[in-house]
Structure 1
């Protein structure tokens, strides 16, 4: 049963997602970025289907060409890499800039597939076998075939991983942001799998020791996981609303923010316990408690602000100014710069109070933060992360 799911599950998911996109049709004005998603889904569906044992055997039997399904499946994967890369280019570049790039890489794709076809013919693989690597790993031209294949895929998938992660950071649409990150992770895993297989072929050819123990798990799980992540990520903006994904992502974001604020809140609470409406709970309890998250997040933000107010007599403007200068030299700017300076000021004030320093009411200073609750929560999350880094540095120092 597990082998059946591993062989046929990703292909079934790919066709379901492709059918869903087809059923939705095209809406609104033409969108080159959205249109390339169709090619990603179609290429993955064909590639995964051709490499299933039943279809693999059927293709060889009907065509009379042993292992033809492997060449066609790999050709479909080249289309996936080209399409996904084109999709990411369209997200952040004008079409006049993207078109020359896509034509150039389409030429590379054609040349790669032509070279793979020549090497496929040269390789002596007379037995049609879905377990191709186990049977032919050490045979002439098989390693060369795979090296040509990954010579196109690796830079394409690396570009997908880097651009996908970068564009996800810039995106303001939650579903697109998560989808791009899933595509990036899937592309990274695909690179690892392809390099692993290249080493398998090379070890058989040249007689060195590889693969490591547990390689069957890599062969079985890594490609399936990579395919599923790309499939889900590429289509998440289309079907995510059907399962209330935006609401789930918003809740997850609030939960992560609540947990990220804990180190700062806990330090302020230890210095001034009166700021909390209820006593602090153990970290594990907070980790698994998910009820009333909106109220608890609101209270945490208010209590952090109260804790800062209680620290005002210990806040040193010179410390904040020096921390700002160091952060600016490190390349920080904007809110990241404000957060680093605020974290340093709070860290120094807490340290001064803990050492029993005399409270000195200095001149009133501007309190950095957001203009409303939501923006202030985001700012304090950045402060809390910077504060946590300072805490770790002080403990290790």
Structure 2
């Protein structure tokens, strides 16, 4: 049962996606990046299908070439790598740069496919066997074939992992961020599996000991395929299973908790700012209206700053800005550091009852709407926590 799931579940998932999404018209790729994703998924499904026992035997029977399914599956996986490189090229560069990088990657992977074909012809693998590694691990030219294959895959996988992870750090969409990180995790699993196989072939060829873990062969490639497919299609299936709502709730909850220490100190200095008295942090998980509570927390932090107006010292703000500039902290992070420093100083002054003798005029940084202002206050709260 586990073997059947490992072989047949991933290609069934991929082609089910194409039937539901593309044939029914629910999704039409409009941009080059979306077309690259579709091409990559088609290549992934083809590769997985031809490497199933039934697909493997069918390819050998139709072509008359033993183990041709192995070569077809690996060449279509190179197509998947090209699609991943094209996707990150269109995601991170200008159209001219993306076209240039895509062409360069295509030539590199086509050359790799040609080398694989030559080495496959040279290798004496005349008996068709889907358990290729078990039968042919020590056969001449098989190790060379695998080294060439991994040499083509590794730069592409590493590039896709690095770029998707980097883009995930800056995208504001939490679902897309999760999908990109899942794709990166799938790439890592694929890289681990192919390196493991290379070591297995090298051990059989040169006679050194290598711990062959069957669990790696069974679980890691399955995880890689499911992660890549799931991450690439997350924007479609996440709303259907409620994941989008869950991710949005988790994001609001984390924001709410990040703001708590700053809000609590402002409340202690000016209790009138709060609509309700503070409750235990563990009660924040209660299934009431988190959106309303987060909105109230942002408003109450702003009200707490207004209440501290007599204690806000422009000299402290100027000194904090100079310190931030010397440390290379600029932009929103610099503004957040200055605001946190000013608030911390004002809270200490309020606790001692020391108002400024002259009227203080400290600018009010923040966002232009509720979402951007909330993001700014989270940065302030983080800086405040570090200062505390």
TM normalised by structure 2 equals 0.83
The equivalent position to 1:257 in structure 2, one of 255, 258, 283, is: 255
Alignment-derived partner of residue 305 in structure 1? 302
Show the counterpart of 2:53.
Answer: 53
Cα distance in 1 between the residues matched to 2:133 and 2:315: 65
- Residue 187 (structure 1) aligned with residue 179 (structure 2): no
Alignment of 1:158-197 (within 5 A): 158-171=158-171, 176-197=176-197
Match of 1:334 in 2: 331
Distance 2:15 2:207 in 1: 40
Cα contact 1:123–1:141 (8 A) shared by 2: yes
Question: Which consecutive residues of structure 2, in runs of 5 or more, have no partner in the other structure?
Answer: none
Mapped to 2, the partners of 1:312 and 1:374 lie a distance apart of: 24
1-structure distance, mates of 2:123, 2:200: 17
> What CA distance in whole angstroms lies between the structure 1 residues aligned with 2:361 and 2:40?
58
With over 3 angstroms needed to count, the CA separation of the structure-2 counterparts of 1:313 and 1:256, relative to structure 1, is same
Distance apart, 1:113 and its partner CA? 0.9
Match of 2:102 in 1: 102
Please tell me whether the aligned partners of residues 11 and 45 of structure 1 are also in contact (alpha carbons under 8 angstroms): yes
1:35 offset after TM fit, Å?
Answer: 2.0
**Which range moved further: 108-117 or 326-335?**
326-335
Offset at 1:330? 4.0
Q: Distance in 1 between matches of 2:134 and 2:301?
A: 60
Matched, 1:359 2:354: yes
**Which range moved further: 26-35 or 221-230?**
26-35
Task: For residues 48-75 of structure 1, give each alpha carbon's deviation from its aligned partner in whole angstroms, at most 9, with x where no partner exists.
Answer: 1122233234434554433322221111
Give the conservation status (yes or no) of the 8 Å contact 2:258–2:378.
yes
In the alignment, what sits opposite 2:153? 153
Matched, 1:296 2:290: no
1:275, 1:87 → 2: CA distance? 49
Please give the alpha-carbon distance, in whole angstroms, between the structure 1 residues aligned to 2:262 and 2:196: 43
TM-score by length of 1: 0.81
State the Cα distance separating 1:11 from its structure 2 match: 1.4
Q: Does structure 2 retain, via aligned residues, the 8 Å contact 1:33–1:91? A: yes
Q: Structure 1: which 5+ residue stretches go unaligned?
A: 392-397
Residue number in structure 2 paired with 1:230: 228
Mapping 1:54-93, distance limit 5 Å: 54-93=54-93
Inter-partner Cα distance in structure 2 for 1:349 and 1:222: 55
Q: Is the 8 A contact 2:316 2:342 kept in 1?
A: yes
Q: Give distance in 2, aligned partners of 1:5 and 1:95.
A: 40
1:35-50 equivalences in 2 (<5 Å):
35-50=35-50
Distance 2:35 2:117 in 1: 28
Alignment of 1:353-392 (within 5 A): 357=352, 359-361=354-356, 363-391=360-388
* Cα shift at 1:289: 2.9
